[in-house]
Amino acid sequence: MDKIIENFKTLIIALIIAILIRSLLFQPFYIPSSSMEPTLLVGDRIFVSKYTYGYSRHSFPFSPPILNKRIFYSKPGYGDLVVFKTPLDNRTDFIKRLIGLPGDKIQIIDGELFINNERMLRTKTGSRSDIRCAGYEKEVFEFKEELPNKKKHVAVYNKESSILNTDIYTVPDKHYFFLGDNRDCSSDSRFLSKVGYVHENNLVGKANIIFFSNDTNKGSILKFWNWSNSIRLNRFFKSLK
Residue spans of the domains in the chain: they are 2-239
From the list 156, 102, 149, 134, the residue with the least C-alpha distance to 217 is 134
Catalytic residue among 35, 59, 189, 230: 35
- Annotated active-site residue 206? The verdict is no
- Is the distance from CB of 99 to CB of 177 less than 8 angstroms? yes
Say yes or no to pLDDT of 143 above 90.
yes
**Strand pairing report for 81-85 and 136-146:** unpaired
Percent of the chain with pLDDT over 90: 74
Q: What is the architecture of the domain spanning 2-239?
A: Ribbon (2.10)
Catalytic annotation, pick one of 50, 56, 59, 96: 96
Q: Provide the 10 A C-beta neighbour count for residue 54.
A: 18
**Chain centroid to CA 210:** 12
Given this model, what pLDDT does residue 12 score?
84
Give the least confident one: 61-75, 85-99, 114-128, 191-205.
61-75
Residue 192 has a CB neighbour count (10 Å cut-off) of 11
Secondary structure of residue 116 in the 3-state scheme: coil
pTM higher than 0.85 for the full model? yes
Q: What is the mean pLDDT of residues 98-119?
A: 97
59 is catalytic: no
The residue among 193 and 100 whose pLDDT is bigger is 100
Least confident of 9-13, 16-20, 158-162: 16-20
